[in-house]
Structure 1
Amino acid sequence: MKIAFALIVLALGSVVFHLLSPWWWTPIASNWDYIDHTITLTFWITGIVFVAIVLFMAYCLWRFRHQAGTQAAYEPENKRLEWWLTILTSVGVAALLTPGLFVWHQFVTVPKEADVVEIIGQQWQWNFRLPGKDGVLGTSDTRNVTPENPLGLNPNDPHGEDDVLIAGGDLHLPLNRPVRVLLRSIDTIHDFYVPEFRAKMDMVPGMVTYFWFTPTRPGTFAAICAELCGTGHYTMRGVVVVEEEGAYQAWLQEQSIFKQSADAGNGTGEGTSLALSATKTGSAP
């Protein structure tokens, strides 16, 4: 009986703790409230199943407790019970998976008008690249990575000459404009994650993965790596600033482009503006 009572306290205590817990999500700052709704639905389904099973166990402990003069009945099979368990389990699994499939479809369907930004992960910092005036990102290859070209851009691709590079600095995004985030890793598996945006995706060496979102709240948000990527994993942090269009354009004009860094690496002396913009933004070229 003591164990049955402990199980009842466990079930009810878990529900009360969940409802009164001070630990919850950070306030959302993107369009992905669908993800919050899906997680909430998952909590309800798994919570109801958890409470039902624990209370059923408590009931069995009380109902079938040892009593003098009683003997347990041996029933090796109960097809009716097995069918009910199979049907209920199938319904529960379908209820868990179906909302996620709808959200996933939205998650991978990028709006045609979305801006593009590339995020490159490396041990242990974030680098960013945005298309220049031509609106097209240049090609890249990890075999092109050098101290002068840390992001591995193709120096022979004219589309990459005006690409905006932010090595180790802050990423700025315009408010209420969808953005497609291309994810690339130079060394190992990383995962760019801003909790307030909800959206994230692994960055796998040799692949370009992606997700998209629309920033809906201005502010400064911390970006972390959500994948254990080595001894310096805990230091892999960044900053994403969401701001109005005017402030975003002013910030964009201060950034350096790939051609400037390439010229600086070639010793042509044309990289002066790169150093100046790095000083203004507090980032390293």
Structure 2
Amino acid sequence: MAVAIILLLVAVASVLFHLFSPWWWTPIASNWSYIDNTITLTFWITGAVFFAIVAFMAYCVFRFEHKEGRKAAYNPENKKLEWWLSVGTAIGVAAMLAPGLVVWHQFVTVPADATEVEVVGQQWLWSYRLPGKDGRLGTSNARNVSSENPLGLNRDDPAGQDDIVIENDDLHLPVGKPVKILLRSIDVLHDFYVPEFRAKMDMIPGSVTYYWFTPTRTGTFEVLCAELCGAAHAQMRSKVIVEEQKDYHAWLEKQKTFAELSGNRSVAKAAYKIGTE
């Protein structure tokens, strides 16, 4: 009897702790409320199954406790029970998977008016690239990565000369505008994650992954690496600052293009070489 009561108390306490827990998601700042809804639905389904199983265990402990003279009946098969379990499990799994597939389809279907922004991860910092006045990002290649060209941009691609390059600094985005995030790593696995945006994706060396979101409120949000990437993984931080259009354009005007940065590096390298001769 005592064991059955303890099992029921554990089930009830677990559900109540989840419902009234002070630890929850950070307030959302993107269009991906669908992700929150899908996770909440999964919690309800798994919570109901958890409670049902523990309650059944408590019933069995109470109903079939040992008594003198009572013998257990051996029943290796029960077709009716197997059908009920199979159908119930199938419905539960479908209820969890179907919303996820719908959200995933939305997650990879980028709006036509989305602005492309490249995020480059490396041990242990974040860099960003935004399209210039031509509205297009230039091509890149890992073979081009060097101290003078840390993002590996193609110097012969005219579309990349006006690209805005932000090395180890904060990324600014306009509120209410969809953004397609192109993810690239130049060393090991990384994962660009802003908790308030909900969206995240692994960054795999040698390939370009992507997702999209629309910032829905202004503010400063911390960037985390959600993939263990080395000794300084926890310090791989940055910030995304979402602001109004006029503030965003004022910030954008102050940034340097790839052509400007390449020229500055060439001048600095030449000055260093002359100074050491």
TM-score bracket for this pair, using the shorter chain length: over 0.9
In the superposition, the TM-score normalised over structure 1's length comes to 0.93
Q: What's the counterpart of residue 135 of structure 1?
A: 135
Matched, 1:3 2:9: no
Matched, 1:207 2:207: yes
Please give the alpha-carbon distance, in whole angstroms, between the structure 2 residues aligned to 1:207 and 1:34.
Answer: 27
In the superposition, the TM-score normalised over structure 2's length comes to 0.96
Question: Secondary structure at 2:173's aligned position in 1?
Answer: strand
Q: What's the counterpart of residue 216 of structure 2?
A: 216
**% same residue:** 64
Q: What's the counterpart of residue 77 of structure 2?
A: 77
1:266 counterpart letter in structure 2:
S
- Number of residue pairs the alignment of both structures matches: 270
> How far apart are 1:84 and its partner, in Å?
1.0
Q: What's the counterpart of residue 37 of structure 1?
A: 37
1:57-68 to structure 2, matched below 5 A, reads: 57-68=57-68
Q: What's the counterpart of residue 47 of structure 1?
A: 47
Q: What's the counterpart of residue 91 of structure 2?
A: 91
Structure 1 unpaired stretches of 5+: 270-285
Please give the alpha-carbon distance, in whole angstroms, between the structure 2 residues aligned to 1:261 and 1:249.
Answer: 20
Q: What's the counterpart of residue 27 of structure 1?
A: 27
Please give the alpha-carbon distance, in whole angstroms, between the structure 1 residues aligned to 2:266 and 2:236.
Answer: 30
Please give the alpha-carbon distance, in whole angstroms, between the structure 2 residues aligned to 1:230 and 1:163.
Answer: 30
Q: What's the counterpart of residue 14 of structure 1?
A: 14
Partner deviation per Cα, 1:101-139 (whole Å, 9 max, x = no partner): 110111111000011100000000100000111111111
Q: What's the counterpart of residue 247 of structure 1?
A: 247
2:7 counterpart letter in structure 1:
L
Please give the alpha-carbon distance, in whole angstroms, between the structure 2 residues aligned to 1:113 and 1:69.
Answer: 77
Question: Secondary structure at 1:229's aligned position in 2?
Answer: coil
Question: Secondary structure at 1:267's aligned position in 2?
Answer: helix
> How far apart are 1:268 and its partner, in Å?
8.1
Question: Secondary structure at 2:267's aligned position in 1?
Answer: coil
Q: What's the counterpart of residue 186 of structure 2?
A: 186
Please give the alpha-carbon distance, in whole angstroms, between the structure 2 residues aligned to 1:237 and 1:54.
Answer: 42
Instruction: State the Cα RMSD in Å.
Output: 1.2
Please give the alpha-carbon distance, in whole angstroms, between the structure 2 residues aligned to 1:143 and 1:264.
Answer: 21
Q: What's the counterpart of residue 120 of structure 2?
A: 120
2:133 counterpart letter in structure 1:
K
Q: What's the counterpart of residue 196 of structure 2?
A: 196
Please give the alpha-carbon distance, in whole angstroms, between the structure 1 residues aligned to 2:232 and 2:2.
Answer: 48
Please give the alpha-carbon distance, in whole angstroms, between the structure 2 residues aligned to 1:209 and 1:31.
Answer: 20
2:222 counterpart letter in structure 1:
A
Q: What's the counterpart of residue 230 of structure 1?
A: 230
1:228 counterpart letter in structure 2:
L
Q: What's the counterpart of residue 257 of structure 1?
A: 257
Q: What's the counterpart of residue 110 of structure 1?
A: 110
